[in-house]
Amino acid sequence: MTMIVFLIGLIAAMCIGMSIAFALLFSGVCMMFYMNGFNTQIIAQNLMTGADSYSMMAIPFFVMAGDLMNRGGLTERIVTAATTLVGHIRGGLGYVSIMAIFCFAALSGSAVASTAALGMILIPMMVKAGYDRSRSTALIAAGNLLSPILLSSVPMIIFSVVASVSITKLFMAGIAPSIYIAVALCLVWAWVVRKDNVEKLPRASFKEVVKACLDAGWSLLMPIGIMVGMTSGKFTPTEAGVVSCVYAMVIGIFVHRELKPRGFMESLISTAKTSSIIMFLAAAAMVSSWMMTIGNIPQIISNILEPLVDNKLVLMLVINAIVILVGMAMDVTPTILILTPVLMPVINAAGIDPVYFGVIFIINNCIGLLTPPVGTVLNVACSVGKISMEQIMKAIIPFFIVELIILFLMILFPQLITYPASFFTIS
């Protein structure tokens, strides 16, 4: 009954237009009243506990690093380098988009931010070259599934805090799935664009390629530095966020000279707004999480799923089916905050690697960004690409299907994640 009270409280609050953070608080308070345990001190303590995490400090730094990259010209140089490399082949701007998204994803950590930043640059380029606007916008949206699963991933940081899993291991385990998805998107793009009558960009000279790659070198050094630093134990993920932020600021001001004082102040304000939303969500979710624990909801879920514990494959398929359904109605962060404490006892009881599960869980949540009615990335992509939701939904189907196939294959063969991750030395 406690779980029903939680769900009714959460859904009712959302239906009347309450933000998800306050809806979580409301559902937690509803459970308190139901259990005759309302206490404002408990609410205050859990709000403080939810936000008081050293690991969560990485979020504002990674968010700011991505924003500074946009304002400092680092993102534009990544796009230019990719264009000189593959822009001249058939469908080249699509491959440019995927390469640029992959590089920027390792620095941004946010699918929404990456979609907005790269979409404004790439979609007009593709439309001007004769590519279908809807298909181009769909590719940008689908490709930005990479942002929350590569280095600096905000959802991974949140999951690691809630599930008590190593952030570094999650970051490293997310690299291989990102490559699978990027390659799969390239194959689908080659198939869907084969009949388009598009203008090929002129082949860049060797000198132009070298110059563009050297210009982009400063941008590409950042994810390499993050990975090397974390795997060697030189700094923690939170310290990596600080290093990324300072690096983007120094390159933007002193090397590219495009980051101005006004842009820096705007970046601080934008980062504060974005980070405060995420941190307050985490704090509000801690109240509900604490009440769910007191109400024995994780144990109830464990008992429901107990018949599946001995069959890891079936258990993973059932859990992922649930996550897909929830992801259609809820954004990534609240889904992670709500479901992680409920599902982790089951995952541990089944003997499933929590790092492997975390990667699968986060990818599945991010697929929800491409599904209506919430579909945050879809909405941002529609706005940037200047198309309707109906247009992008039709165009995104082949990309969406291939990402589901990749997810299913990784559930079927966990070694696709665990084996590549074992090559990295984790301190």
Statement: residue 258 has pLDDT above 70: yes
Closest by Cα among 199, 145, 208 to 177: 145
Q: How confident is residue 373, by pLDDT bands cut at 50, 70 and 90?
A: low
pLDDT on residue 279: 78
Which of 15-29, 205-219, 261-275, 405-419 has the weakest average pLDDT?
Answer: 15-29
Which among 402, 317, 330, 338 is positioned nearest to 372, based on CA atoms?
A: 330
Euclidean distance between CA atoms 285 and 277, whole angstroms: 12
pLDDT in tens, 127-162: 887 888 999 999 999 998 888 888 778 889 889 988
- pLDDT reported for residue 55: 67
**Are the beta carbons of 354 and 86 closer than 8 angstroms?**
no
* Residue percentage of the chain with pLDDT more than 90: 18
The residue length of the chain stands at: 427
Return the amino acid letter for 113: A
| Residue 257 burial by Cβ neighbours in a 10 Å radius (0-12, 13-18, 19+) | exposed
Q: How many C-alpha atoms does 37 have within 13 Å on its Cβ side?
A: 13
Whether the predicted pLDDT of 353 surpasses 80: yes
**Residue 337: enclosing H or E segment and its boundaries?**
helix 332-350
**Residue (of 371, 347, 377) closest to 162 by Cα position:** 347
CA angle 411, 106, 21 (to 5 degrees): 75
For residue 231, pLDDT over 90 is answered with no
State both tokens at 156.
């991974």
- Whether 195 shows a pLDDT value over 90: the answer reads no
Handedness of CA 14, 17, 22, 25 (dihedral sign): negative
Distance separating alpha carbons of residues 285 and 263, to the nearest angstrom: 33
Provide the 10 A C-beta neighbour count for residue 3: 16
Q: What is the average pLDDT across 254-275?
A: 88
Q: Please give the Cα distance from 317 to 408 (Å, whole number).
A: 8
Tell whether the torsion through CA atoms of 359, 156, 273 and 75 is positive or negative: negative
- The CA–CA distances, whole Å, from 275 to 64, 271, 385, 386 equal 9, 6, 26, 27
Token code pair at residue 64: 């700011």
| Winning range, highest mean pLDDT, from 193-202, 319-328, 343-352 | 343-352
Residue with tokens 């690096």: 247
For 151, the token pair is: 């280095």
pLDDT category at 183 given cuts 50, 70, 90 is very high
Kindly report the number of other CB atoms within 10 A of residue 203's CB atom. 13
Residue 317 confidence (pLDDT) = 92
Q: DSSP code of 308?
A: G
pLDDT in the model for residue 330 = 74
What is the spatial distance between Cα 384 and Cα 398, in angstroms, rounded to a whole number? 21
State how far the Cα of 397 lies from the Cα of 406, in Å rounded to an integer.
Answer: 14
Rounded to two decimals, what is the model's pTM?
Answer: 0.81
Residue entry with tokens 């291991």: 169
Q: Average pLDDT for residues 171-184, to the nearest whole number?
A: 92
Q: Do 398 and 347 touch, CB atoms closer than 8 A?
A: no
Residue predicted with more confidence, 182 or 226: 182
Residue 281 Rama label (left phi>0; alpha psi -120 to 50; beta): alpha
pLDDT at 374: 62
Query: What is the per-residue pLDDT for 225?
Result: 82
Residue pair 4/19 in contact (Cβ under 8 Å)? The answer is no
Q: Find, among 250, 254, 257, 208, the residue nearest to 225 by Cα.
A: 250
pLDDT at 424 exceeding the cut of 70: no
Structure confidence at residue 333 (pLDDT): 80
Under 8 Å CB-to-CB from 254, ≥6 apart: which residues?
Answer: none
CA dist 281 and 7 (Å) reads 17
